[in-house]
Structure 1
Amino acid sequence: MKPSRFCTTIHYSCLTYVIRHSEHSNPSSWNTTKINNNRDSERQTILIFKQTRCSGIKSVELTYASLFKACASLLALEEGRQIHVDCFKHGLDPDVYVRNTMIHFYGSCKKIIDARKVFDEMPHTNVVSWNTIISTFFRVSWFYESVEYFMKMRDVNIEPNGTTLVVMLSVCAELGNLTFGKCVHSRIILKRLELDCRLGTALVNMYAKCGALNYARLVFDKMPERNVWTWSAMIQGLAQHGVAKHAIALFNEMKNTSIQPNHVTFLGVICACSHAGYVEDGYRFFKEMKHVYGIKPRLTHYGAMVDVLGRTGHLIEAHNFILKMPIEPDPTVWRALLSACSVHSASDFDGIGEKVQKKLLELEPRWSPNLVMVANKYAEVCKWEDAARLRKSMRFKRLKKIAGESCIEVNGSTFRLLSGHDSHATCVDIYSLLDGLSLNMKINNL
C-alpha cells in the first residue's frame, strides 16, 4: 500500500531529526537523505537542504546536483536561483556534474539565456554538457543554435554520442534540412552505432519529415526492432506527404504485430484520411481508437476529424461534430472549420461560417490571422463594409498581418523567404527569370 503524504512527512521529519542530532553527522549522511528524498518528493529535498543550511552543515557537489534536478522537476526557478548563489559562494559551481544539472534546471524553466551563460562559462565540459545545452535549445525551438553548438562541439574535439545524434536528427527534421540530416546519418554509420529503436526512429522521422519517404522506409525496414514510436513516425510521414493508402496499409500491418498503436499513431492515420478525403475511414479509426484500444481522444484528434469532414465539404456535419465534443474545442478546431468554410462554400458563410468566425474571434480576438481570414471571406462574398470594419479594427488595435513564410534548401543551406520581403541580393534577377518563365508558359498555351 502506498504511504500517505502525512506518513511520508513524518518519515522525513524523523530521519532529519536523527541525522541532525547524530554525533557523527556529516555531509555524506545529508546527501544520502537528499538523494532518497528526491525519489519520493522533490519538495522534501529542498526542505531538507534548508535545514542543513540552518544547522551549519557543509554541502558537497552531489548535494547541489540533486537540488538542481529537484528544482528542474518542480520548475522552481526562484529556489534554483538561490541554490545557484549558495553553490557559487561555496566554490562548488565549477564542477562539471553540477554545471550540467544547472544547465538542465535553467533549460527546464525556459531560461535559455541563463542556461547558455552557465555553459559558456564552464571551465571544463564533457559530452553530457554539450548534449544538455543542445537539447535545451531544441526544446524551445532554437534549432539554429542547436546546429551552432553541435559544430562547436566538433571544434573542441568532443565526440558526439548516440544521444547527440538523436537530438540533431530531430533538429534536421524540424528544419527540413535533408542534406544535414544525411551528414548526421553518415556519422552514425562511421561510428558503427547500433540502429536501436531510439536512433532508428529518429532517422525515420527525419527522412519522413524531409520528404525522403523512400529513405525513411528503407531505414524502417532495416531496423531489427521497432516500437510504437517507430511505426507512428513512418505512418505520420506518409500521411503528411499525402500517401494516404500506404499510411493506412502500414497501420493495418502494425495491427498484426504485438505493438499496440497509441494516440500519435491514430493521429497520423486520421490525418491520412483527411488528406485523401476518406470520411468513412476517418470515422472508423476514430471510433476504433476509443472503443477498441481504449485511447481517450485529445483535442488534436477532434481537430483532425473536423479537418476530415471540412476538407470534403461536410460543413454542417463538422459543425455538429464540434458541438457534440465532450471537451471544450480550442481555437485550432474552430479555425479548421472556418478554413473549410472559406474553401468550400461562399453562400454558406451567412450560416455556419458566420457562427464559426464569431466563436473564433471570441476565443482569439487579437490574433491577426483570424481577422485576416474573416476579412478575406467577407470580401469574397462582397460584404465590403464588414471587411473594411475588420481591417480598420486591426489598424486601431495595431495588429499586423503575419507575413507568409517558407523555407527552401539549396546545397545544404536553408533559405528563409518572407512574403513581400525582397531582401535577397539577386531578387531583381529572380523576378526577371520568373517573368520570362511566365511569358514562355503563356506562349506555349496559345
Structure 2
Amino acid sequence: MFRLPIPTANYCNSNFGSKKHQCLFLLNLCVSFKHLSQIHAQIQVSGLHRDPFLLTQLIRFCALSPSKNFNYARTLLDHSEAPPPSSWNFLIRGYASSDSPREAIWAFRAMLGRGIIPNKLTFPFLLKSCAMVPALKEGRQVHVDVVKLGLDCDVYVQNNLVHFYGACKKIKDALRVFDEMSDRTVVSWNAVLTACVYNLRLNDGIEYFVKMRDCGFEPDETTMVVVLNASSELGNLSLGRWVHSYVIVRGLLLNCQFGTALVDMYAKSGALGYARLVFDRMEERNVWTWSAMILGLAQHGSANEALELFPKMLNSSIRPNYVTFLGVLCACSHAGLVDDGYRYFHDMEHVYGITPMMIHYGAMADILGRSGRLNEAYNFMKSMPFEPDPIVCRTLLSACSTHGVNDEQGVGNKVRDKLLELEPSRSGNFVMVANFFAETGMWDKAANLRKVMKEKRMKKRAGESSVELGGSIHKFFSGHDSQSDHEDIYRILDILRLHMKLVDM
C-alpha cells in the first residue's frame, strides 16, 4: 500500500504550515492514479474538498498526466459546488490532446451549464479540439462566444481561430480572421501559412510568407517546413533551395521534421541527389523520412535503389506505414517485379497489420498491367474489398492500350464499360476510351465516340505544362496563349529553330 511521505520538522515549520500545503506537496510528487486517489482521500478527511485550488490540481493530474482518468475528473467536477474556470480549462486541454477531442465540446457546454464564465485560456484548446474533429458548426458557435466575451482580440485565441477555420477547409474565414488581427506573432503567420497550404492555396501561402518577411518577422523551423511543403506541391525547386540555404545561414538545426520536409521537397522535384544528400546527413529519421526517400526514388526512375533502401529501413527498427508500402509497390511496378509486388502487398497486411487502401490496390493493379498480365490484373481489381475507383480503371485501361495483343479475354472492353459507368460525364474518360479504340484498331468506334462528345459539347481539359524561371512558375495550356508576351516567345523560338538549321548545315 502507498504510504504518504511524512514531512520533516523543518518542512513543518515552513512549507507544511497547513494541511493544504502538505496535500499540494504530495500532488507534486504524485506519479500514479493510485497515489492520487489516496491524496484525494486525505483531502476529504482534512475537510479541504471545497478548496478550488486543490480541486484544480486534482483535475490537472487526471487530465494531463500520463495516468489520464477523464471519468474521475468529471466526477470531481460534478460533485463540486463552484469549480473555477481553470479546472474546466485543464479538462478541455486534456481532451484536446486525447483520442476523444469531441468530449472537449461536451466539457465546454457543461461548463456553461454550470454558470461558469470561460476565460481566454478556455478557447485555444477548445478550438483545437473543434479543428481535430472537425466540428465546423460547434466551432462557429465557439467563435460567437469568443466575440460575446470580448476575447476576439486576444492573439492566442485568434491564432487558434485561424487554425480551426483552415482545418475545416474554410480558408476565406481563416484569412479574414488573420487579416483583421491587430497584433500578430510568428505563430499567427505559421497558422495562416498552414491554412493556405492545407487548402492548396499555395500561391497565397507564398504571398503571406513574403508579407511575413516584409513585416519584420523572422521565420522559425515551423515556417520553413510549411513553405517547403508549399514549394513541393508547386514544384518550385528554386524556392525550396532558397529555404534550405536560409536555414543554413540562420544556423537552424536540421531536426527530423525539417529534414523530412527537405527530403520530400527535393524528391518530389526530381532532385534525387540533393534528397539523398540530406537524407544521409540526418542523424535522426522517422518513418516519414524513409517513406519520402523511398517514394521519391521509386517515382523518378530509381526503383532498384528504392527497394534496396527498404530493408535498411527495417534494420534500423523503423516500422513501415502505408506511405512506405506505396513507395515499395511503385518501385516494383517500374522495375517489373510482379512476384515481389505480391509479396510486399501480402506482408503489408499480414506481417505489419496495415490494411491496404484503394491506392495500394491501384498500385498492385498497375504492377500487373505494366507486365501485360491484363486478365490477372482485372481479376485482382474485382477481388478488391470495395468498389474500384476511376483511377484504378484508368490505370488498367492504359495498360490494355499498351498490351492490347495480350487482351484475349477482352479486359479492355470490361474496364472501359466500368470506367464510363463510374464517371459517365467526365470528358477525359471519353477521350481515353476513344484513344483505346483507335490504338486497338477499332476506328469506327473511336469516331462514333468522338462524335458523341461533339454532340454533347464535351471538351477535354487542356493539357498543361509549367516552366520554372527565376523562381517563378509559368504555366502553359494547350491551344491557349496565357502569356501576354507570347509573340516575343515565338519570335525567339523561330530564331532558335533557324540557328539549329544553320548548325546542322
Confirm or deny a common fold (TM above 0.5). yes
Residues 302 and 165 from structure 1, CA distance in 2 versus in 1: closer, same or farther, beyond 3 angstroms? same
Q: For residues 279-298 of structure 1, what are the structure 2 equivalents within 5 Å?
A: 279-298=338-357
Please give the alpha-carbon distance, in whole angstroms, between the structure 2 residues aligned to 1:353 and 1:411. 45
Residue 27 of structure 2 corresponds to none
The two structures, once aligned, show a CA RMSD in angstroms of 2.9
Residues 257 and 376 from structure 1, CA distance in 2 versus in 1: closer, same or farther, beyond 3 angstroms? same
Q: CA shift at 1:439, angstroms?
A: 7.9
Q: CA shift at 1:154, angstroms?
A: 0.8
- Is 1:155 aligned with 2:214? yes
Residue 352 of structure 1 corresponds to 411
> Does structure 1 retain, via aligned residues, the 8 Å contact 2:299–2:331?
yes
> Does structure 1 retain, via aligned residues, the 8 Å contact 2:372–2:406?
no
Query: Normalising to structure 2: TM-score of the pair?
Result: 0.79
> SS of the counterpart of 1:321?
helix
Which one of the candidate residues 191, 195, 199 is aligned to 2:250?
A: 191
> SS of the counterpart of 1:62?
coil
Residue 92 of structure 2 corresponds to 34
Residue 137 of structure 1 corresponds to 196
Residues 385 and 51 from structure 1, CA distance in 2 versus in 1: closer, same or farther, beyond 3 angstroms? same
> SS of the counterpart of 2:233?
helix
> Does structure 1 retain, via aligned residues, the 8 Å contact 2:287–2:320?
yes
Q: For residues 396-407 of structure 1, what are the structure 2 equivalents within 5 Å?
A: 399-407=458-466
> Does structure 2 retain, via aligned residues, the 8 Å contact 1:290–1:296?
yes
- Is 1:182 aligned with 2:241? yes
Residue 115 of structure 1 corresponds to 174
Q: For residues 190-339 of structure 1, what are the structure 2 equivalents within 5 Å?
A: 190-339=249-398
Mark the structure with the bigger radius of gyration.
2
> Does structure 2 retain, via aligned residues, the 8 Å contact 1:99–1:119?
yes
> SS of the counterpart of 2:122?
helix
> Does structure 1 retain, via aligned residues, the 8 Å contact 2:374–2:399?
yes
Per-residue displacement from partner, 1:305-324 (whole Å, max 9, x unpaired)? 21122123221221122123
Q: For residues 61-140 of structure 1, what are the structure 2 equivalents within 5 Å?
A: 61-140=120-199
Per-residue displacement from partner, 1:97-150 (whole Å, max 9, x unpaired)? 101111111111110000010011111111111111111111121111111111
Residue 424 of structure 1 corresponds to 483
Q: CA shift at 1:382, angstroms?
A: 5.3
Please give the alpha-carbon distance, in whole angstroms, between the structure 2 residues aligned to 1:198 and 1:38. 22
Per-residue displacement from partner, 1:389-446 (whole Å, max 9, x unpaired)? 5445545655431111122112221111111111223434544555676788899999
> SS of the counterpart of 1:415?
strand
2:396 alignment partner AA: L
Name stretches of at least 5 consecutive residues in structure 2 with no aligned partner.
1-32, 34-68
Please give the alpha-carbon distance, in whole angstroms, between the structure 1 residues aligned to 2:219 and 2:359. 35
Please give the alpha-carbon distance, in whole angstroms, between the structure 1 residues aligned to 2:474 and 2:439. 33
Please give the alpha-carbon distance, in whole angstroms, between the structure 2 residues aligned to 1:435 and 1:310. 42
Please give the alpha-carbon distance, in whole angstroms, between the structure 1 residues aligned to 2:177 and 2:360. 40
Residues 264 and 43 from structure 1, CA distance in 2 versus in 1: closer, same or farther, beyond 3 angstroms? closer
Please give the alpha-carbon distance, in whole angstroms, between the structure 1 residues aligned to 2:268 and 2:96. 38
> Does structure 1 retain, via aligned residues, the 8 Å contact 2:196–2:202?
yes
Please give the alpha-carbon distance, in whole angstroms, between the structure 2 residues aligned to 1:347 and 1:434. 43
Residue 146 of structure 1 corresponds to 205
> Does structure 1 retain, via aligned residues, the 8 Å contact 2:375–2:409?
no
Please give the alpha-carbon distance, in whole angstroms, between the structure 2 residues aligned to 1:259 and 1:393. 53
Please give the alpha-carbon distance, in whole angstroms, between the structure 2 residues aligned to 1:45 and 1:233. 34
Count of paired positions:
437
Please give the alpha-carbon distance, in whole angstroms, between the structure 1 residues aligned to 2:108 and 2:463. 51
Please give the alpha-carbon distance, in whole angstroms, between the structure 1 residues aligned to 2:372 and 2:238. 39
Residues 68 and 295 from structure 1, CA distance in 2 versus in 1: closer, same or farther, beyond 3 angstroms? closer
Q: CA shift at 1:156, angstroms?
A: 1.1
Please give the alpha-carbon distance, in whole angstroms, between the structure 1 residues aligned to 2:346 and 2:111. 56
Query: Normalising to structure 1: TM-score of the pair?
Result: 0.88
> Does structure 2 retain, via aligned residues, the 8 Å contact 1:104–1:115?
yes
Most deviating of 94-103 and 344-353: 344-353
Residues 262 and 17 from structure 1, CA distance in 2 versus in 1: closer, same or farther, beyond 3 angstroms? closer
Residues 34 and 263 from structure 1, CA distance in 2 versus in 1: closer, same or farther, beyond 3 angstroms? closer
Please give the alpha-carbon distance, in whole angstroms, between the structure 1 residues aligned to 2:397 and 2:211. 46
> SS of the counterpart of 2:397?
helix
**Higher relative CO (CA 8 A, sep ≥ 6), structure 1 or 2?**
1
Please give the alpha-carbon distance, in whole angstroms, between the structure 1 residues aligned to 2:325 and 2:113. 54
> Does structure 2 retain, via aligned residues, the 8 Å contact 1:341–1:349?
no
